[in-house]
Copies of this chain bind each other. A is one copy, B any other.
Amino acid sequence: MKIYLAGPDVFLPDAVEIGKRKAEICARYGLSGIYPLDNTIDRSASDVSLRIFRGNQAMMDEADAIIANLTPFRGPGADPGTVYELGYMAGRGKRCLGYSNDPGYYADRVRRFTSVSPGDGRLVDADGLTVEDFGLNDNLMMMHALDLHGYPLVMPQQRPADIWHDLTAFEACVRIAAGRSS
């Protein structure tokens, strides 16, 4: 089974190394992990971003499942690039798994970024926009996509010290994808 390894991991200083670690964990469970940076892209080309897109899409089309790193990125929610890929895989009927290394509720996390106050029967942020308050870790579209197209979001009991390098929750997803109970 081929698993597309999606996440803002590609933005880390050691992006290539973490991809290798993830692929090694997959291999240990008999699965094949494929990672965006496995593609060889000519970084000097004028259309480099388009080449990255085409490479990622080809990998997703080839994969049977996705494990998306939904740890909040540069704001209160998951990385939109990763979320696009989760949606694409759900749309293609592939199996969707995901994890977040920041457990807890979305509404509580938003409070770290903006003021949140009770409005007219709803929570609102500083701009008056509703803050989702369903007791979920992130926006309901991603959370329930996992529930209905794969497996519920995997989270650690506690936020690990290094949210970008701790792969415990990732490994739990791999174990589930491999159909192993432990």
Contact = CB atoms under 8 A, between A and B. Distances in A.
Interface string A113-154: 110000110001100111110101011111111011000000
B53 A148 contact: yes
Interface in A1-40: 8, 10-13, 15
A136 B87 CA distance: 21
A77 B90 CA distance: 22
Nearest to A129: B11
A114 B53 contact: no
A81 interface: yes
Tell me how many chains of this kind the complex includes: 2
A101 to B, nearest CB: 13
Which of A15, A54, A91, A144 has the most C-beta atoms of chain B within 10 angstroms of its own C-beta?
A: A91
Given A11-B130, A90-B91, A114 B74 contact: yes
Interface in A41-69: 48-50, 52-54, 56-57
A179 interface: no
A126 to B, nearest CB: 10
A40 B140 CA distance: 17
A81 B141 contact: yes
Contacts of A84: 83-84, 86-87, 90, 139, 141-142, 145
Nearest to A53: B144
Contact of A49 (B86, B129, B143, B164): B143
A176 interface: no
A91 B81 contact: no
Nearest to A9: B129
A110 B73 CA distance: 12
Contacts of A50: 140, 144, 147
